[in-house]
Structure 1
Amino acid sequence: MCKSRRRDDSYSSTEWSEAFTLSGSILNKPTVTLQPSWTQIYSGETVTVRCEIQGGEGAQWTYEWRAAKLNTPPTSNEYRIIRATESDSGGYSCRGRRDYFFSEWSDIITLTVSYKPKAKLRADNTAVPVGGSVTLTCSVNPSSSSGWKYYWYRDEKSSEALTTQDAVFHSNGQISVSQEGLYRCRGGRGNPVYYTEDSQSVRIGKTVTASNRPVVTLYPNWSEIYRGETITVRCEIHGGDTEWDYEWETNSRIKAPNQNEYRIRSASSSNSGNYRCKGRMKSSQHKTTEWSDSVTLTVSDNKPRPVLTVSPSWLSPGASVTLNCEVEHPSAGWSFYWYKAVPDLSEKSSSYELLPDGSGTAQDSYIIHGQTHTAGYVCRAGRGDPEYHTDHSQPKFVWSAGQFEEF
């Protein structure tokens, strides 16, 4: 409301005018957005920086910008960066003005412009197996960038991207191919589409199967081995003087190296599993053998303990005694060791004294001639190189009608 009075009469004034109501609101803080919403872009891409004031729709705004590179700052709410360069990197913020009222400055949004990236192509194999395919994977680094679609090409001069007639398309960035050729890829994003540089090319060839089929053998050829033993798993390809690279496939927890043999110096149950192999010609990496049949390796964590029997267990003085030592796998390369159990009365225990010619015998039996006294015996077995030994058997006694043997 307002009223007036005469300058020469301080007591004379008009009445108050009718009331006029002015309404308004607090100006919201603007927000800077990017379209597309990538804070990491590359040299040559186009991006729009936009200033948005929520709740200010329909009003006549003038905009002010603080930006990394703005020779002539615009007064509109959009700033379009065409073919960005590294100098466009930096922070952008804005505020709005309407008449004499100003909003706050927006928070700063940071834009990073980097050199044009190069796509990366990876193949899970460089040779297509018979009746199969090879998987190709294309990617653009750094992983923080987004929005990429991938385009695939075969042969150097071809500019036509592959279609579903040429390959099986999986998730974005991965395809499977079954044709030979020189493959490359690139990434693209935005509208109009911005392309990365092409990846390096990868040549995919056909696998030719050689007639030689490998054989997997175990040395020594024991069906079961024990923890701590040494064994070699070998891949043998017979025929010709071809030099081979070797590939193993196993379900054991420890993988075999890509060599023709895998020497396990101290086996454990983690080495148990099926083993098979194939060869790849060194002179032609696209030519391979078939997979060999699988061989099963079983490693027991239990250390074997032989069982000793004596016959007869009662005898007349001077008769002969036969000792028999039995292991769990009797035909698996064991040699045998024979001992007399010598009691140590002070320690209430026994020590073992090797019998004559009782070291590493090939036979699992041992004969003692002319025994006259009661005595105790034990045995154990050993095999391999370096030699692995079982535990000693439990002692067994031969009882004589005479007295105990004197020590």
Structure 2
Amino acid sequence: MGVPSVLPLPAAASDQAGCPPRRPWGHLLLLCTALLFLAPAAGTPGLQKAVVSLQPPWLQVFPEDNVTLSCQGARSPGDNSTQWFHDGTAIPSQVQPSYSFKASSNHSGDYRCQTGQTSLSDPVHLDVTSAWLLLQTPRLLVPQGAPIVLRCHSWKNWRLYKIQFFQDGKPKWFSYTNASFSIPHANASHSGAYHCSGLLGQMQHTSQPVNITVPASIADADTAAKAEVENTITYSLLLHPEAPEDDTAPSDYQNM
């Protein structure tokens, strides 16, 4: 009996064990490419980031102050759905572009948002603090040439007199009744710790300091931006102050 000229190759060990045949590398590359296209928008390059804005624009608020967060970014026609995140945790009950609430200690923290046509926004840190006075500002990192805007906010909006703003402990500006102060064109010399003081009734009160950074260069700006994200201001909830004394200015102030 003749020997066949072509003998069948022996089965691979994996085939003999009942395992599926090995697939060529080309198939795996196609599969990985398809998975990349199915990745979530937050990790997809080329998409613009969503932007979280505050109204009023202050990063520091008292308990019971009204706050509205808005998510700005591209959306599909007819689709206003928005994903909101608080300290990295999704807020399933909030799906609208705007998110409003009356502030409490539980609302302190980082907020992010995302739409169907954007990647995840940078965090915006909201600081809810109970005190007599609060120095408010819309941004902690201010580019060169941009304005620095400060507001000395009193508990429950009680009338505030003889208001002073300080930079690194040194008096910067004084007004009898104007609780707002701004520097139109900031430069690196304006970086520092700012606080304010004023009279509520006949009692002098001082806010906690807030650190504002004006980078000297683009490289410094990148470094400061990373530091701001990594080291957000930690909120503090103090005991609610008692009712102040009679909300009237001393008689000598009326003569000024």
- For the superposition of Structure 1 and Structure 2, which TM-score range results when normalised by the shorter chain? 0.3 to 0.5
Which structure ranks higher in relative contact order (CA pairs < 8 Å, sequence separation ≥ 6)?
A: 2
What TM-score comes out, normalization by structure 2 length?
Answer: 0.38
Which structure shows the bigger proportion of residues in strand conformation? 1
Which structure shows the bigger proportion of residues in helix conformation? 2
